[in-house]
């Protein structure tokens, strides 16, 4: 049995006339009659009561009509769903992200995306960059919003790359081979310091002054390339005989870091989007150029087409463009 047999049967059942049903189906009447007889033989049931003047559904035919219509409706709906998924308008999208990327651009992109594509179910997972890349390669994420870390300075960034800047390769120890990436945001570091701190009187704090203060820094194991680049930039800002940058505390979360800043345990370098969630007792000041450049990017497996993912990446990159 094929789907066309169901369509033939429904046409005859609705017309109750083989000639009209054949015309509706653009078939000759004899082949249609043969197909209906073959269907009845396959089912082992008479679907129509025929006379020389009329055609009527049998009780078996009436029951079969309801089920045949339901089957074709499901087939049509499956086709519509497949087309919507193919166009990126339905389905599921598994998204990995780091919190700084969420604060900088992704929260706004997700809001616009959900409004434009309400039938795409978003599955969000907050993970460190390294873990996102592992999940991406394993196929458990469709797209990862990561930090791309390049050894360099903010001044160099201002002179340099466009929105398609970091594409593939390796960036300060991040293995991006086999992945495509698109830059979605750049964000400068700012200095978080407690209210009343002597450096708060400056609108732009010299890097050398930052390096001389006790610092609250993220642990190296989470982001070794960025950790090393940050300390190298601070070390380079100190003059001969001024020692090493002093890490007073290592804290993974930004909220805990700012809490320690407010409590006077040290100063902390945070992304500029920290202005959106600044806590009481903490002030932010710009820092002179010299810190490593951190860019935020969307990453996905090369060669894997996904219109739903492409639409989200486009929204996230729109502000940068």
pLDDT of residue 76: 87
Note the pTM of the prediction, 2 decimals.
Answer: 0.65
User: Considering only CA atoms, which of 33, 28, 67 is closest in space to residue 50?
Assistant: 33
41, 66, 86 - which closes a domain:
86
Give the number of other CB atoms < 10 A from CB of residue 170: 11
CA 299 – CA 147 distance, rounded (Å): 10
CA 103 – CA 56 distance, rounded (Å): 67
Is 151 found in the same domain as 73?
no
Helix axes 107-116, 307-318, angle to 10 degrees: 130
CA 36 – CA 8 distance, rounded (Å): 7
Is 196 found in the same domain as 179?
no
Range of the domain at 7: 3-86
Q: What is the pLDDT of residues 196-238, one digit of tens each?
A: 999 999 999 999 999 999 999 988 887 787 888 899 999 999 9
Give the chain's domain count: 3
User: Considering only CA atoms, which of 75, 53, 67 is closest in space to residue 10?
Assistant: 67
Is 280 found in the same domain as 163?
no
Is 114 found in the same domain as 79?
no
Is 162 found in the same domain as 121?
yes
User: Considering only CA atoms, which of 310, 50, 36 is closest in space to residue 180?
Assistant: 310
The residue ranges of DSSP E strands in the chain, in sequence order, are 48-50, 55-57, 91-97, 120-126, 143-150, 170-171, 174-175, 179-186, 189-194, 204-205, 214-217, 246-250, 267-271, 282-287, 293-301
Least trusted range by pLDDT, from 66-70, 97-101, 117-121: 97-101
Is 169 found in the same domain as 156?
yes
CATH for 48: 1.10.10.10
User: Considering only CA atoms, which of 104, 106, 108 is closest in space to residue 275?
Assistant: 104
CATH for 198: 3.40.190.10
Is 168 found in the same domain as 104?
yes
Q: What is the pLDDT of residues 11-21, one digit of tens each?
A: 999 999 999 99
Is 312 found in the same domain as 169?
yes
């Amino acid at each position: 049995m094929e789907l066309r047999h169901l369509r033939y049967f429904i046409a005859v059942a609705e017309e109750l006339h083989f000639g009209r049903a054949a015309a509706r189906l653009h078939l000759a009447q004899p082949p249609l009659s043969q197909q209906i007889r073959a269907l009845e033989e396959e089912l082992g049931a008479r679907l129509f009561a025929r006379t020389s003047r009329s055609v009527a559904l049998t009780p078996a035919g009436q029951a079969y009509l309801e089920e045949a219509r339901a089957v074709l409706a499901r087939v049509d709906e499956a086709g519509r769903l497949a087309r919507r998924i193919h166009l990126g308008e339905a389905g599921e999208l598994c998204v990995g992200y780091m919190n700084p990327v969420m604060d900088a651009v992704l929260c706004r992109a997700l809001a616009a995306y959900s409004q434009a594509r309400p039938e795409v179910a978003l599955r969000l997972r907050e993970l460190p960059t390294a873990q996102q890349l592992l999940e991406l390669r394993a196929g458990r994420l469709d797209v990862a919003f990561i930090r791309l870390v390049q050894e360099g300075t903010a001044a160099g960034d201002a002179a340099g790359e466009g929105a398609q800047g970091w594409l593939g390769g390796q960036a300060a120890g991040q293995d991006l081979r086999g992945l495509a990436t698109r830059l979605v945001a750049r964000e400068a570091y700012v200095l978080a310091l407690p209210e009343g701190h002597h450096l708060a009187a400056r609108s732009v704090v010299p890097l050398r002054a930052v390096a001389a203060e006790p610092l609250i820094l993220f642990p190296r194991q989470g982001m070794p390339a960025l950790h090393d680049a940050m300390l190298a930039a601070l070390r380079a800002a100190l003059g001969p005989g001024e020692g090493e940058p002093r890490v007073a505390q290592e804290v993974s979360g930004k909220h805990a870091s700012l809490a320690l800043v407010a409590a006077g345990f040290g100063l902390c370098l945070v992304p500029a989007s920290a202005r959106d969630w600044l806590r009481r007792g903490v002030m932010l000041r710009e820092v002179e150029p010299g810190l490593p450049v951190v860019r935020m990017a969307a990453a996905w497996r090369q060669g894997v087409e996904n219109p739903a993912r492409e639409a989200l990446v486009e929204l996230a990159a729109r502000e940068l463009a």
